[in-house]
Each structure stands twice: as C-alpha cells, then as structure tokens.
Amino acid sequence: MCAIVGIYTKKKNVCLSLYNALTVLQHRGQDAAGMSVYGEDNTLKIHKNNGLVRDVFSSEIMESMMGGTYGIGHTRYPTAGQIDNSEAQPFYVNSPYGIVLVHNGNLVNTVKLKSDVENNNKRHINSSSDSELLLNVFADCLTDEAQNGNNLTNLMIENAVKKLHSRVEGAYSVILLIVGYGLVAFRDPNGIRPLIYGVKDSNNYIVASESVAIDCLGYDIVGDVNPGQTIIFKDNDMYKSQYPEGSLNPCIFEYVYLARPDSIIDGINVYKSRLEMGKSLAKKIKKVLTKQELDDIDVVIPIPDTSRSSALPISILLKKELREAFVKNRYIGRTFIMPGQKIRKKSVKQKLNTIDVEFKNKNVLLIDDSIVRGNTSKQIVEMAKEAGAKKIYFASASPKITYPNVYGIDMPYVEELIAYNRSTEEICNIIGADKLIFQNLSDLENAVKKFNSKINSFDSSCFSGKYITPGVNNKYLDNLYKIRNQKNE
Ligand code: PIN
C-alpha cells in the first residue's frame, strides 16, 4: 500500500502543497517518500529517499524544490522484501518528452512485462519495482503515438493509456507528470486501489489516494477517478476519457484498516462502513457466545486506533460499557507496515500500554480490525492478563485471512498467516483468549456495499482466495513466495 498525489495549479511552489498532502497520507506508507515538480523555467526536479516525509524533505531540500507549478508525490511501504531506496518513487524516463510516474498497487504479469520491455522495447529496468516497469510500458506506448513527429496531444496520451491497459494486469492507480504538458491520472479497469480528485477556485486540481488529502488542503472533492478512466490536467482545465468501460471492485481492506476513517473512498464514508462492521460483528458475537458468556462481559475495549469505530456500536448493541484501556504511543509507526518479523515483534510493547484499572478482575471483550500474523493479538492478550483481566473474549471486525494479497498490500505468505489451515479454536488457543469471534465475509462485504450500490464485487482475495485478474493461480502464488524468500535472504 502506498500513497500518491498530484497537484496542478497556476501558483508557484507546488512543493509546499505536495508536502502537506504527503504528510496527510503518511499512514499509507512510511518506508520512503518522494516528489517531483515542474516549473516554468523548464526544469524538472525530483527528490526521493527512504524515511518519513518530514525526514526526506528537510528545509534545505524543500528550498531546492521551490518554484514549480505542478507536481506529483508518493509515500511508500515495501510490497515485497527489499527496502533499499532504489524502489522509492517517483520514477523518471527522459524519453519521450520526459515522464515521471507515481503508482499505488501491484502488477501481476511482471515477468512477461519485463521481458517485453527489455527484449522488444529495448528499455532498461534498473530496479525490481513494478512501478518502473509500468512507467516504461507507458513510455513505450507513448513513443508509438509520437512516431508521426507531431506535438503531444491529449488524444496521443489517451491512446497510450489504452494500449497500456491491454498490456498490464493487476492493480494500478497512477499519476504521471509529463514535462511541459501537465498531469495524467488513471486507474486500472477493476478499480482496485483508490484514486480521487478535487478542485479549488475552479482551476487548481488535486488527485490523491484518499479524500483526506483533498479536504485538508482546502480543495473540494469532485469525484473518484472511475475504473478505466483517464483524466488529463492541462492548461488550467481537465479532460476526461474512459476506456475500457471498467467495473468497480475496490480492495475491501481499505475499509477494514488501511484508509483513514475520515476518508471517503468510492462514495463510501470509511468511518460509517466501520460502524456497520461493528453492528454486524455484534450480531455474530451474540450468536456465538452463550447467554452466560454474554452476561459475563464487563467491558468492551477497542485495540487502538482503527477498531474504535467498530467497537462503538458493539458496546451499544451488547449494552456493555465501552472503555479506552490501551494507550498508544503516537510517535511509533504502525507495526503492520514495518517490514521484517523481528521489528514487528519487538515493537508491540513499545507501542501499546494498558490502563490496568480497566482490566483488573474484569471479563473483557477486545475488538480489533483484523488478525493477520497473530503476534500482536497474542501479546495484547498477554498484556490484558498481566493487567488483571479474568476472561478475555476477542473479536475481529474482518474474517480469517488465509490467502496472500497480490494487489499492493504487504500481506505475509500464507504460512505466516495465523488463520492459514487453522480452526477458530486453534487460533484462539494460540493467542491465549477464552473465545474468539471472526466477522463473516458476507457481513463484511454488506457493511461496505450498503453505501454504494454500484459496487459489483470487492477485491476480498485475502479472505476468499478469489483474484479478480487472470493468471493469479497456485503456480503464480508459489512463485511469488520463492521470489519473496530470495529477496529476504
Ligand atoms: C492497527 C490496525 N491493525 C491492527 C492492523 C495484527 C494485525 N493488525 C493489523 C491489527 S492501527 S496481527 O489501529 O491502524 O494502528 O494479527 O498480525 O498480530
């Protein structure tokens, strides 16, 4: 999962707005940050490095980025293995025209693409990033369009994106900066990863992964970039085209945990969808627990931050008090995003502490948004016991995660997933709880779908094993595992 943003304005020093947008989107990736701006003096500036936005963009660097009127930015977290800065974005190619790209998502036909790009298009890929590959595919498609020697036009760009769609498979929300021309935003025909745009004073535009960036920078939301839609921002205006028709299959994990609750994604208020998840989880809890167990519960306790929204209706529907009993150190990044098991294990205790009075001699119902590897959940149960809890019921607002994600979320391979090949009872024993309850997948999907009838289906692949793009089969997943292990060696 990454964040992308593009801002097209008439005012100078667009780097300042890009910086602000990237800090608002920091939760989508803390591994690396970068931006590229283009100014009237015909210079393109690019800066990227590993680290948080505030560390990568010191005052000195920001000063060197001043001047430009349009630009793009990115925050990244690793989608597989390696964490050197060769995969930080944006990526740049000087021909044709000079193009810079930021990408959120993950391509699934990279082996074929790489061979096509290197052997047929005679281009060099200098990293293991699928985003660099994507940029080179676009550059090749645009080179085809530019053969007649004419000046660049919107139609040429739209045709190049059309060709790109026919070559590329996977999830891709993309923003391009074309030197001297403007910005181009497009979203894959399945609309897996989010992309939304907004306007200020009728001719300043922003396009970003989440609507919070639009809000916080004082722009008004216009709408989501539709699956298969291309929007060109040029000469103070925007030009939309649609190819292919596309269908909306957003990643359900955005609603479960990835996105900020104050974002609206594909017309759905993320916070409201989490409230709904809480309502249906409350029903499931009532079904699964005996009357005795339900009576037993003294308090409902969310594990901060994401699960707070779903814990609220659970407390109301179960008629149990809601208590804040975990305090989070807000200066430590999300453990889910950190690469490597060791760092993840160590960081739980540093990150969360208990308010012991809320646990002492109580039967508690803990709520979390998901259980992935289960390490955090296990340590949290231990902490609750140490703080004096008698019984611990644990409920997850999403179902068991039993398949890998191939569309840009850093999910571990199946064997690292606690729910892989295990019953709910087995998982419950491992994490040390007295009872464990998972949300049903249909309930989760309904909780989100309820707010947008246009959604055909979700990318719920990590729960269901059903992948929306062709070619993602057991052979593909096994190969992914091998590559991942090689990278981690
Ligand atoms: C963390 C949200 N959420 C908590 C991320 C932990 C799985 N974990 C996924 C639960 S926050 S584990 O609220 O956004 O800070 O199952 O892998 O141990």
Please state whether the predicted TM-score (pTM) of the whole model is above 0.75: yes
The b-or-e profile of 357-380 (16+ CB within 10 A means b, else e) is: ebbeebbbbbbbbbbbbbbbbbbb
| Cα of 334 from ligand 1 centre, angstroms | 8
Indicate which CATH number applies to the domain containing 437: 3.40.50.2020
Looking at the predicted structure, is the pLDDT value of residue 280 above 80? yes
Question: Is 152 found in the same domain as 16?
Answer: yes
**299 plus 353 within the same structural domain:** yes
pLDDT the model gives residue 331: 80
Range 267-290 average pLDDT:
98
Closest protein CA for atom 5 of ligand 1: 336
Q: Output the pLDDT for position 480.
A: 78
Regarding whether 325 and 202 lie in a shared domain, the answer is no
Ligand 1 atom at shortest distance from the alpha carbon of 328: 15
CA distances from 286 to 280, 307, 311, 445 (A): 10, 18, 14, 20
- List pLDDT tens digits, range 99-109: 999 999 999 99
User: Cβ < 6 Å from ligand 1: which residues?
Assistant: 257, 304-306, 334, 336, 368-377
Q: Residue 334 CA: which ligand 1 atom is closest?
A: 15
The residue-averaged pLDDT of 201-206 equals 95
Question: How many A from CA of 253 to the centre of ligand 1?
Answer: 12
Residue 489 pLDDT grade (very low, low, confident, very high; cuts 50, 70, 90): low
Residue 79 confidence (pLDDT): 55
CATH number at residue 239: 3.60.20.10
With respect to residue 84, please indicate whether it lies within any of the assigned structural domains.
Answer: yes
Residue 34, domain extent: 3-249
Q: What percent of the chain has pLDDT over 90?
A: 85
> In the annotation, is 141 catalytic?
no
The answer as to whether 264 is a domain residue is no
Query: Do 336 and 241 have their domain in common?
Result: no
For residue 43, being part of any structural domain is answered with yes
Output the pLDDT for position 262.
98
pLDDT of residue 229: 98
The answer as to whether 261 is a domain residue is no
Q: Cα–Cα–Cα angle for 144, 209, 8, nearest 5°?
A: 65
Q: Do 280 and 201 reside in the same domain of the chain?
A: no
Residue 82 is predicted with a pLDDT of 55
The catalytic residue among 2, 15, 141, 251 is 2
Which protein residue's CA is at the shortest distance from atom 15 of ligand 1? 305
Segment 363-385, tens digit of pLDDT: 999 999 999 999 999 999 999 99
From 227-231, 297-301, 482-486, the region with the lowest mean pLDDT: 482-486
What per-residue confidence (pLDDT) applies to 343? 52
For the cut 80, the answer to whether the pLDDT of residue 486 exceeds it is: no
Across all residues in the chain, what is the average pLDDT?
Answer: 93
CA 377 / ligand 1 centre spacing (Å): 8
What is the average pLDDT across 43-52?
95
Average pLDDT over residues 84-107: 94
Cβ atoms of residues 147 and 95 within 8 Å: no
Q: Which atom of ligand 1 is nearest to the CA of 376?
A: 18
At residue 482, the pLDDT reads 78
Burial 92-113 (b: 16+ CB within 10 A, else e): bbeebbbbbbbbbbbbbbbeeb
Q: What are phi and psi of 246, to 5 degrees?
A: 80, 155
Residue 239 and residue 320 share a domain: no
Same domain for 333 and 391, yes or no, is yes
Whether 484 shows a pLDDT value over 80: the answer reads no
Report the alpha-carbon distance of residue 90 to residue 78 in Å, rounded.
Answer: 14
**Are both 288 and 204 inside the same structural domain?**
no
- Residues 184 and 310 grouped into a single domain: no
Residue to mutate (ligand 1; options 1, 330, 335; most atoms within 8 A of CB) = 335
pLDDT for the residue numbered 332: 72
Residues 171 and 314 in one domain: no
3-state secondary structure of 132: helix
Task: Answer for the pair 137, 122: CB distance below 8 angstroms, yes or no.
Answer: no
In a shared domain, residues 294 and 146: no
Residue 336, pLDDT above cutoff 70:
no
276: in domain: yes
Q: What average pLDDT score do residues 202-222 get?
A: 97
Answer yes or no: do 100 and 171 share one domain.
yes
pLDDT digits (tens, 9 = 90+) for 339-369: 555 554 556 778 899 999 999 999 999 999 9
Residue 72 lies in a domain: yes
What is the reported pLDDT for 48?
98
- Count of the separate structural domains present in the chain: 2
- The DSSP symbol for 251 reads B
Residue 357 lies in a domain: yes
Least confident of 137-141, 158-162, 227-231, 405-409: 405-409
Is residue 115 a part of any domain in this protein?
yes
Parallel, antiparallel or unpaired: strands 392-396 and 364-368:
parallel
pLDDT digits (tens, 9 = 90+) for 400-421: 999 999 998 988 788 899 999 9
Strand partners, 47: 35
Distance 371 CA to ligand 1 centre (A): 7
**Judging by beta carbons within 10 Å of its beta carbon (0-12, 13-18, 19+), is residue 142 exposed, middle or buried?**
buried
Give the pLDDT confidence score for residue 391 in this predicted structure: 98
